[in-house]
């Protein structure tokens, strides 16, 4: 079994998760049974997935999933350390996300099936956004959440997956419809809907993903620059028209210490508590940043640095660089244009989102209210991140060796 | 390889930019770690903006000045000690910037970028302890000697550089902070958060004549054989410098004894802007002193730029735009007492100089001959003019000053040192806007403190 | 409890680091390069254009994988793709159309080894590398390596212009070994034991270069070897025709091509 060479890494990963989860499971009040079961299940899923995939896809390397499991595990422990009641919901979301990953990987394993799904996906994406706009209630100034019973979902997260799905296409499809017009129309509608929801951060992520997809499809850097210039002018126009909302956001940028208890509150607290943790952190669950609003969502990088240490912050940063590099490496040798484009877009999206979050809360970039992939609490986010991993995984040729839709490599 | 897959390499640019950003981020975190971690909103260290988790602060005799007991910061039980050491120990909210609680907060809390606040968080009061060089009992005595005056008294051991006494008034009892401290505008609390000994600058008046004399010794070869005639004022081409009396014909030493403005204005005139400025700067004016690598002392200020002859005359007797910092004047005394060099002053004892930031640096002000000649002249001031009875058993050298301040009462100054090798102490007394003269009001205060100091454990 | 936290503080970053390090090692491998999957043989001049990807775009535009500078070929003409079931040609809205064995391709059509594909008026023969490679296996026994020690061979009557059939050979200049190529369709040069011309030398790749017959001509092609293949001291990147006395450099070994016709 070739998967056996991954055993040491899996054991290390498990050790990491047992050790970190143990910090929240075992507390002064004794052992929390519910958390113990949840983390146990999580580790079991990891093992079962790795063993099954090493049998089914003999030559596939599970490195990418390990990193995803690693980051998701950190996220779960942070959620548990801040509020144990939220752990169950988050875990269920992670499991759904994981199942979405498995399903999506199956879905795109057949190119014909994938091609057939693009149109319904696109329609569903726009429909979902329109429904959101109609039903959403204001939450932190943005209208991007809908509530179904006691559940709340953020459809813009799910649309990310559809956005890439529609953007990527088989080479013959790309050749036959050379003009990007249709896709541009789809992208513009999505981005405008997000603007209407006042979800500027997500709109920015979509715009960036659109640039990657457009470049991958056309290979024309001049067009991309043109689009960027047009977008910058459009953004300038928006700023002129609805100035105070946007300007207020940007006025804090690089001036967070001038208004420590006002507009710079979140960023200054992130920086103060990040350095308070030192290299090794104050210990999981012993931080103070967690008492601040959105600690497990937008500010989760600060919680990580404070409680787990700056070293762990560096490792998480490297994890995102790894995911992006992995997607490039896979895309370069990839056999089909659909997988190549989707993988680069997914890797780019995850990295861009991580940059916006990490550099946003530390005042290197303006704060946009974007979550940190895999680690931030949020069910929709977990589902979309895991689904995006499927695109990168699909570009790895090793995934398909022995698959019923794909040929063996001519050696 | 497919042409489309080649395009994926563009993503490397983003990865590269991301990693560069990450390196910058980590670098910024490390660079600002201490500043940020010790912000008053950090609840690991501060509770309601007050420093709580910190080590104990001791004086040189092991008297506890501040410590953390059961999550609360507790100060010395004696009210006089609390008032007199307020500016040295500092408040918990960081209003007193040169106070130990603020200046040495990273040492006190034990914060380091490696371990963060872990130790503070876990062990509460397990920050590092500070041992200060001040003698709290002496400070209390100095505080009492100051009476109701605003001003400052500092005593420096010029052999070791230890500041053994440092008192600044007005002050308040940290356990019973006046409610109207920030609202009262009667002037009662003016500069109450300022440690006048370290952060204050005052017009030096006649005490500056020591600097003029040092310049004269270095630049006028026959200065000791010169005589000056004082008619009660000295006329220059651009104005008149008024003297405090009519001293007739005096030699250089007498001129300093009597503090004759006419003579010193004349000397300043002869020295010229360049010589006088050069000497002042060599003697530490316009230069920064830093205690223990953490506490910045205010710079003494001297300038003769665009000065005409009458300005030069006034500058020579310590008026014009000149401002002196009391600690700096104390180091100047120390240098005169010990062959022209004074060890860098410090307020942490050797055992708490954590990184040995101030190994053995020395303030080099003048050469040994000049120092000894000045020392003799200052000794003559006390012996022949103020009278040794004013400073019994001290072998005191010194100079008084009465500094005119525009629109307010003058400051009374005394700067001096004991020449007895068994009591290597230099003292500076500034009574701010007291209205008294140096001889009349500053000298008795200085004597009280010196008598107490020689009996302390310097 | 306390102990557990301390262990966590110091060990977690290191375990995490090793997890990431182990995963990062997989980056070194990346995706394997695909070998040549097939060829488009230009019927006009016999050029063999290798198909290296599973999807290959054909057209006049520079952003196509195979650029055909014919007036009758559209900028984005067609896409050749390999799937599990076989090869397909998709016409991508070309003006002049794509034909397989004179049958016009509507949107997508299957193509097999040996079929002719016409883009506009450019005629190609499609060669599936997999099928071509498998051909020798059907022969009863592998063709033995020919080794003729006798250098006199070339001077004798056998090797003369008067000889009716074409005859070609490769001489290894370093060892003096001679390989007669007449019984082969293709001939692999490399370190591999399966190579017809085996050169056991470290700088020679396992599959270094491929000789293939086209009519009476022999062609040489580099198989992405580490050190490259040089024809008369020029490195070759595509398929080249060989002529008598051409000198090949295979990883430092000099081979001389002999032919009685060209």
Q: Render each residue's pLDDT in chain A as its tens digit; 411 residues.
A: 354 788 999 999 999 999 999 988 887 778 889 999 999 999 999 999 999 988 888 778 889 999 999 999 999 999 999 988 899 999 999 999 999 999 999 999 888 888 889 999 999 999 999 998 888 877 777 777 888 777 788 889 999 999 999 989 888 888 877 667 888 889 989 988 888 888 888 888 999 999 999 898 888 788 788 888 888 888 777 766 665 666 666 778 888 888 888 888 999 999 999 999 999 998 888 888 998 888 888 999 999 999 999 999 999 999 999 999 999 998 988 888 899 999 999 999 999 999 999 999 999 998 888 999 999 999 999 999 999 999 999 988 877 776 655 554 433
Q: How much of chain B, in percent, has pLDDT values that exceed 90?
A: 11
Could you please report the per-residue DSSP string of B164-201?
A: EEEEEES---GGG--TTTTT--SSTTTTTT--HHHH--
A236, two tokens: 């300038």
Q: What is the rounded distance in angstroms from the CA atom of residue C231 to the CA atom of residue C241?
A: 10
pLDDT for position B47 = 77
Position B404 pLDDT exceeds 60? yes
Residue B351: strand, helix, or coil: helix
Query: Who contacts C140 (Cβ-Cβ below 8 Å, separation ≥6)?
Result: none
CA A144, CA A140: separation in Å to the nearest integer?
10
Q: Quote the pLDDT of residue B355.
A: 52
- Residue B116: which of A291, A84, A289 has the closest Cα? A289
As beta bridge partners, residue B230 has B248
**Residue B46: per-residue pLDDT:** 81
The confidence band for C146, taking pLDDT boundaries of 50, 70 and 90, is very low
The pLDDT, as a whole number, for residue A205 is: 93
Q: Does B59 have pLDDT greater than 80?
A: yes
C33 close to B (CB below 8 A): yes
From the list B8, B21, B112, the residue facing A355 with the nearest CB is B21
Percent of chain C with pLDDT over 70: 84
Q: What pairs with residue B157 in β-bridges?
A: B425
B74 in A contact zone (CB under 8 Å): no
Q: Does C16 touch chain A (CB under 8 A)?
A: yes
B3/C64 CB distance under 8 A: yes
Task: Confirm if B174 and B78 have CB atoms less than 8 A apart.
Answer: no
Averaged pLDDT for residues B415-425: 89
Say what the pLDDT of residue C150 is: 45
Tally of CB atoms within 10 A around C11: 15
Residue ranges and CATH numbers for the domains of chain B are: 138-454 (3.40.710.10)
Radius of gyration, CA atoms only, chain B: 26
CA nearest C12: which of C23, C4, C22, C1? C4
Cα of A19 to nearest chain C Cα, Å: 6
Task: Identify which of B2, B118, B122 has the shortest CB distance to residue C53.
Answer: B2
Which of A272, A360, A388 to mutate to probe the B interface, most B CBs <10 Å?
A272
Residue C152 has pLDDT above 50, yes or no: no
Which letter does DSSP use for residue B429 in this model? E
CB C78 within 8 A of CB C120: no
* Residue of chain A minimizing CA distance to C53: A335
Give the pLDDT confidence of B316-326 residue by residue, as tens digits. Answer: 888 888 899 99
Q: Average pLDDT over chain C, rounded to whole?
A: 79
| pLDDT at C119 exceeding the cut of 70 | yes
Alpha-carbon distances of B56 from A5, B167, B346, B352, rounded to whole Å: 55, 20, 18, 12
3-class SS at C59? strand
SS3 C178: strand
C157 pLDDT band, cuts 50/70/90, is very low
Is the CB of residue C4 less than 8 Å away from at least one CB of chain A? yes
By the 10 Å C-beta count (0-12 exposed, 13-18 middle, 19+ buried), C165 is classed as exposed
Asked if A37 and A80 touch (Cβ cutoff 8 Å), the reply is: no
Determine the pLDDT at residue A243.
56
Nearest to A374 by CA among A395, A360, A389: A389
Note whether C52 contacts B3, CB cutoff 8 Å. no
User: With helix as H, strand as E and coil as C, how does chain A read?
Assistant: CHHHHHHHHHHHHHHHHHHHHHHHHEECCEECHHHHHHHHHHHHHHHHHHHHHHHHCCCCCCHHHHHHHHHHHHHHHHHHHHCHHHHHHHHHHHHHHHHHHHHHHHHCCCHHHHHHHHHHHHHHHHHHHHHHHHHCCCECCECCCEEECCEEECHHHHHHHHHHHHHCCCHHHHHHCCCCHHHHHHHHHHHHHHHHCCCHHHHHHHHHHHHHHHHHHHCCHHHHHHHHHHHHHHHHHHHHHCHHHHHHHHHHCCCHHHHCCCCCHHHHHHHHHHHHHCCCCCCCCCCCHHHCCCCCCCCHHHHHHHHHCHHHHHHHHHHHHHHHHHHHHHHHHCCCHHHHHHHHHHHHHHHHHHHHHHHHHCCCCCCCCCCCCCCCCCHHHHHHHHHHHHHHHHHCHHHHCCCCCCCCCCC
| pLDDT at C226 > cutoff 80 | no
pLDDT given for residue C170 in this prediction? 84
Asked if the Cβ–Cβ distance from B116 to A278 is below 8 Å, we say: yes
Whole-angstrom CA distances from B433 to A101, A202, B185, B203 are 80, 65, 17, 11
Backbone angles phi, psi at C123, to 5 degrees: -105, 130
pTM: 0.75
Interatomic CA distance for residues A395 and A339, integer angstroms? 5
Q: Is residue B339 classed exposed, middle or buried when 0-12, 13-18 and 19+ CB atoms within 10 A define those classes?
A: middle
Do the Cβ atoms of A278 and B114 come within 8 Å?
yes
Give B303's Cβ-side CA count (13 Å radius).
6
Q: Does B118 touch chain C (CB under 8 A)?
A: yes
Residue pointed to by tokens 């599970």: A62
Q: In this predicted structure, what is the pLDDT of residue A242?
A: 65
**End-to-end alpha-carbon separation of chain B, Å?**
83
Answer whether A340's CB lies under 8 Å from A316's CB: no
Q: Which residue has the tokens 């879905």?
A: A107
Per-residue pLDDT, averaged over B63-89, amounts to 86
Residue keyed to tokens 């063996």: A408
21-50 in chain B: CB under 8 A from chain A: 21-22, 24-26, 28-29, 32-34, 36-37, 39, 41-45
Give the residue from A158, A155, A161, A157 showing the smallest Cα distance to A118.
A161
ipTM for this prediction = 0.94
Is C93 touching A (CB cutoff 8 A)?
yes
The confidence band for B295, taking pLDDT boundaries of 50, 70 and 90, is confident
Residues whose CB falls within 8 Å of the CB of residue B40, separated by 6 or more in sequence, listed in order: B46, B49, B93, B94
Computed on alpha carbons and rounded to an integer, the radius of gyration of chain C in Å comes to 25
Q: What is the pLDDT of residue C257?
A: 86
Tell me the C-alpha distance between A95 and A379, whole Å. Answer: 10
Partners of A148 in the β-ladder: A151
Q: Are A65 and A3 in contact (CB under 8 A)?
A: no
Q: How many helices (H) and strands (E) does chain C have?
A: 2, 22
pLDDT given for residue C144 in this prediction: 41
Using CA atoms, how far apart are residues C5 and B118, in angstroms rounded to an integer? 11
What are the distances in angstroms from CA A346 to CA A160, B15, B382?
Answer: 9, 13, 86
Over the stretch C166-192, which tens digit does the pLDDT of each residue have? 677 888 877 777 777 777 778 888 888
pLDDT at residue C224 above 90? Answer: no
Kindly report the nearest CA distance between residue A166 and chain B, in angstroms.
Answer: 17
* Residue-level pLDDT at A196: 84
* Average pLDDT for C134-162: 46
- Residue A361 has what pLDDT? 92
Question: Which residues of chain A are within 8 Å of residue B44 when distances are taken between CB atoms?
Answer: 273, 276, 282, 288
Question: Encoding tokens for residue B37?
Answer: 């971690």
């Amino acid at each position: 079994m070739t998967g056996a060479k991954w055993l040491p890494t899996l054991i290390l990963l498990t050790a990491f998760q047992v050790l970190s989860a143990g910090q929240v499971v075992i507390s002064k009040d004794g052992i929390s049974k519910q958390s113990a079961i949840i983390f146990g299940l999580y580790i079991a899923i990891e093992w079962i997935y790795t063993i099954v995939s090493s049998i089914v896809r003999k030559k596939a390397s599970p490195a990418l999933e390990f990193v995803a499991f690693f980051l998701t595990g950190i996220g779960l422990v942070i959620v548990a350390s801040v509020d144990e009641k939220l752990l169950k919901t988050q875990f269920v979301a992670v499991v759904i996300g994981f199942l979405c990953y498995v399903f999506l990987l199956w879905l795109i394993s057949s190119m014909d099936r994938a091609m057939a799904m693009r149109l319904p996906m696109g329609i569903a994406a726009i429909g979902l956004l329109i429904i959101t706009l109609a039903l959403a209630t204001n939450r932190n100034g943005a209208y991007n959440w809908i509530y179904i019973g006691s559940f709340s979902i953020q459809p813009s997260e799910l649309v990310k997956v559809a956005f890439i799905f529609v953007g990527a296409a088989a080479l013959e499809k790309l050749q036959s419809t050379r003009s990007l017009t249709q896709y541009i129309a789809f992208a513009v509608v999505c981005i405008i809907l997000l603007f209407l929801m006042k979800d500027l951060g997500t709109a920015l992520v979509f715009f960036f993903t659109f640039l990657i997809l457009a470049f991958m499809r056309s290979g024309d850097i001049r067009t991309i620059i043109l689009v960027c210039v047009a977008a910058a002018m459009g953004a300038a126009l928006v700023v002129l028209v609805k100035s105070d909302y946007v300007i207020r956001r940007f006025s804090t940028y690089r001036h967070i210490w001038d208004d420590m208890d006002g507009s710079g509150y979140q960023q200054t607290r992130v920086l103060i508590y990040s350095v308070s943790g030192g290299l090794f952190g104050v210990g999981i669950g012993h931080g103070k940043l967690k008492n601040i609003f959105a600690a497990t969502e937008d500010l989760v990088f600060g919680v990580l640095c404070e409680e787990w240490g700056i070293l762990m912050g560096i490792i998480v940063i490297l994890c995102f660089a790894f995911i992006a590099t992995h997607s490039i490496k896979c895309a370069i040798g990839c056999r089909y244009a659909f997988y190549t484009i989707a993988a680069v877009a997914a890797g780019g999206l995850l990295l861009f989102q991580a940059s916006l979050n990490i550099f946003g809360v530390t005042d290197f970039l303006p704060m946009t209210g974007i979550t940190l992939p895999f680690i931030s609490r949020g069910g929709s986010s977990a589902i979309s991140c895991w689904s995006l991993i499927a695109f990168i995984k699909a570009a790895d040729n090793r995934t398909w060796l022995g698959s019923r839709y794909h040929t063996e490599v001519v050696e | 390889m497919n042409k489309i897959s080649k395009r994926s390499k563009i993503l490397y640019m983003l990865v590269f930019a991301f990693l560069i950003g990450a390196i910058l981020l980590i670098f910024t975190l490390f660079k600002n770690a201490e500043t940020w971690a010790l912000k008053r909103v950090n609840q690991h260290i501060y509770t309601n903006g007050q420093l709580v988790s910190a080590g104990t602060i001791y004086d040189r005799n092991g008297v506890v000045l501040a410590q953390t007991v059961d999550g609360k910061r507790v100060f010395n039980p004696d009210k006089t000690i609390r008032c007199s050491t307020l500016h040295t120990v500092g408040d918990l909210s960081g209003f007193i910037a040169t106070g130990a609680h603020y200046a040495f907060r990273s040492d006190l809390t034990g914060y380091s970028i490696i371990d963060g606040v872990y130790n503070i968080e876990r062990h509460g009061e397990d920050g590092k302890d500070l041992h200060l060089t001040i003698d709290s009992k002496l400070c209390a005595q100095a505080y009492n000697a100051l009476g109701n005056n605003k001003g400052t008294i500092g005593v420096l051991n010029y052999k070791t550089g230890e500041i053994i006494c440092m008192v600044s008034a007005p002050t308040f009892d940290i356990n019973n902070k006046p409610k109207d401290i920030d609202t009262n505008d009667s002037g009662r609390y003016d500069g109450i958060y300022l440690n006048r000994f370290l952060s204050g600058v005052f017009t030096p008046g006649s005490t500056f004549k020591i600097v003029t004399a040092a310049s004269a010794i270095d630049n006028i070869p026959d200065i000791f054989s010169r005589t000056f005639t004082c008619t009660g004022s000295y006329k220059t081409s651009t104005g008149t410098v008024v003297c405090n009396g009519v001293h007739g014909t005096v030699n250089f030493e007498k001129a300093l004894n009597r503090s004759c403005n006419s003579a010193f204005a004349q000397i300043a005139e002869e020295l010229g802007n360049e010589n006088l400025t050069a000497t002042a700067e060599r003697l530490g004016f316009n230069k920064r002193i830093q205690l223990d690598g953490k506490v910045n002392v205010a710079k003494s200020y001297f300038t003769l730029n665009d000065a005409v002859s009458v300005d030069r005359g006034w500058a020579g007797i310590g008026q014009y735009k000149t401002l002196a910092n009391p600690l700096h004047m104390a180091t100047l005394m120390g240098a005169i007492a010990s062959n022209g060099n004074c060890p860098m002053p410090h307020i942490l004892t050797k055992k708490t100089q954590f990184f040995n930031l101030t190994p053995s640096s020395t303030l080099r002000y003048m050469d040994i001959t000049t120092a000894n000649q000045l020392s003799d002249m200052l000794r003559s001031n006390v012996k022949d003019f103020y009278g040794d009875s004013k400073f019994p058993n001290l072998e005191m050298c010194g100079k008084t000053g009465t500094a005119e301040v525009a629109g307010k009462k003058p400051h009374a100054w005394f700067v001096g040192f004991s020449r007895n090798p068994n009591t290597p102490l230099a003292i500076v007394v500034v009574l701010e806007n007291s209205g008294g003269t140096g001889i009349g009001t500053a000298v008795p205060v200085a004597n009280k403190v010196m008598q107490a100091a020689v009996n302390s454990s310097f | 409890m306390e102990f557990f936290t301390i262990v966590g503080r110091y060990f977690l970053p290191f375990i995490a680091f090793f997890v990431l390090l182990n995963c990062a090692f997989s980056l070194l491998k990346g995706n394997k390069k695909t070998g040549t999957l097939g060829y488009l043989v230009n019927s006009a001049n016999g050029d063999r254009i290798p198909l290296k990807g599973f999807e290959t775009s054909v057209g006049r535009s520079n952003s196509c994988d195979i650029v055909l500078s014919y007036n009758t070929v559209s900028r984005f003409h067609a896409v050749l793709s390999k799937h599990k079931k076989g090869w397909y040609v998709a016409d991508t809205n070309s003006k002049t159309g794509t034909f397989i064995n004179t049958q016009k391709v509507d949107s997508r059509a299957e193509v097999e080894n040996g079929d002719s594909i016409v883009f506009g008026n450019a005629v190609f023969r499609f060669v599936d590398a997999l099928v071509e490679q498998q051909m020798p296996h059907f022969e009863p026994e592998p063709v033995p390596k020919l080794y003729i020690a006798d250098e006199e061979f070339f001077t004798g009557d056998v090797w003369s212009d008067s000889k009716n059939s074409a005859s070609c050979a490769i001489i290894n200049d370093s060892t003096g070994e001679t390989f007669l190529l007449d019984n082969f369709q293709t001939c692999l040069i490399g370190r591999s034991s399966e190579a017809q011309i085996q050169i056991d030398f470290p700088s020679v790749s396992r599959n270094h270069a491929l000789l293939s017959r086209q009519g009476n001509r022999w062609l040489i092609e580099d198989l992405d070897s580490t050190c490259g293949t040089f024809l008369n001291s020029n490195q070759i990147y595509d398929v080249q025709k060989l002529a008598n006395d051409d000198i090949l450099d295979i990883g430092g070994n000099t081979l001389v091509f002999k032919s009685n016709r060209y």
